[in-house]
Structure 1
């Protein structure tokens, strides 16, 4: 099993088609599940063109093996579009909560070093009446992650009407965990921690999961950048 996360600039019609009809295992050999989402700008105003960018797509996917990824990128129409962008291949490590779409993932597999790079992915299905609360608590966290000195890449993405995802690459596990627990460079910063307390008090989501991965290899470029996964 392997996971991938893709970023690409596409014609809006291609992104819209992927949002409406994402790839499925029935038509894509070796694919377990794919989430296709339009990029948002982290921390953008709630009502903004940056909140739904149909020219920029994010795809998070689980595959049986790397051969399936390679076939998709070379043979599938959407895959060939994604191959013009950037993606990272990921080794699954841990989850908090679960997604019905990914039922077979164990809570944890293997271990990690506190000083190695790490990738975090969240996927949530929103409770629509809770969206105003989510934006109130979530946007400060988006800015916290976006501006953190230990993140080399951080994006958020959305598929109407209720799926939202975040993706971030961190220099080290330790720095990511310090942010989660309300510390940043030795200084208190409780935006993420306080938002998690509020979510436990009254959940924003119908379904929510956080995944931790070890980055294996990155391919291509994004916004002119390469080498966004730190060397361990």
Structure 2
């Protein structure tokens, strides 16, 4: 059964830069469906700041045919062994909105065992270059909403030049996530996400865009000295 994995790793500056411009994960890797190697960013940080683009912090989002292929990659591949030293989640697909080329949406859709189960959301898009200023205007308030939301245990953005942008967030419960999406959270300016989605519907920012929702099935390693980002896993 297809499985997704989301990896975070800190690399030396030169290795992180090299990874931006080379294929760290070969397309011929056994069991690989698709991967995106990205540089991590701080949600909501000023665009022109050193805290925005975190060179050296790498996010890799991958789809595999099965967990056997993922395990083999982490044990036998050169870059896989590097990722194995970092932190990663294994994810089972629940829902998709939109489309993004490369990933193959499984026919089987998982489900959450309980209404208060944790859930993971990944968005990924290819930007229209001339839409970037408008996207930043509407997007940064949403980034701050997700970053500061009491329902998240870990959230970040990532980018791959020239035009791939992504977000990743772990939510304590699905309800807290859906309340945020629809503007029902008990936080300051709760409708920031809903308003941005209305603007996207009015005039799209992207060539392609998808939001993927997952059930976390396993967590490995540490990120910034911490572990246990998935409550009760």
Q: Secondary structure at the match of 1:184?
A: coil
CA–CA separation in structure 2 for the residues paired with 1:189 and 1:153: 19
Aligned pair 1:101/2:90, yes or no? no
**Mind listing any 5+ residue stretches in structure 1 that lack a counterpart?**
none
Q: Is the 8 A contact 1:118 1:170 kept in 2?
A: yes
SS in 2 for 1:175: helix
Secondary structure at 2:6 match in 1: strand
Counterpart CA distance in 2 for 1:118 and 1:42 is 19
8 Å CA contact 2:16–2:55 kept in 1: the answer is yes
Q: Is residue 119–residue 174 contact of structure 2 (8 Å, CA) maintained in 1?
A: yes
Say which SS state the counterpart of residue 59 (structure 2) adopts. Answer: strand
Give the match for residue 196 of structure 2: 195
Shifted more, 214-223 versus 16-25: the winner is 16-25
Shift of 1:65: 1.1
Structure-2 separation of matches of 1:66 and 1:116: 22
Tell me how far 1:17 sits from its aligned partner. Answer: 2.7
SS in 2 for 1:209: strand
Structure 2: runs of 5+ lacking an equivalent? none
Q: Aligned pairs, how many?
A: 230
What SS is found at the alignment partner of 1:97?
strand
What TM-score do the two structures reach when normalised by structure 2? 0.94
Please say if residues 24 and 34 of structure 1, whose CA atoms lie closer than 8 Å, have aligned partners that are also in contact: no
Secondary structure of the residue that 2:51 maps to in structure 1? helix
Normalised TM-score (structure 1):
0.94
- Per-residue CA shift, 1:74-103, capped at 9, x if unaligned? 222221221111000000111001111124
Mapped contact 1:154–1:167 kept (Cα < 8 A)? yes
Aligned CA distance change for structure 1 residues 103 and 71 (closer, same or farther; 3 Å): closer
Alignment of structure 1 residues 83-232 onto 2, 5 Å: 83-106=84-107, 109-112=109-112, 113-185=114-186, 189-231=190-232
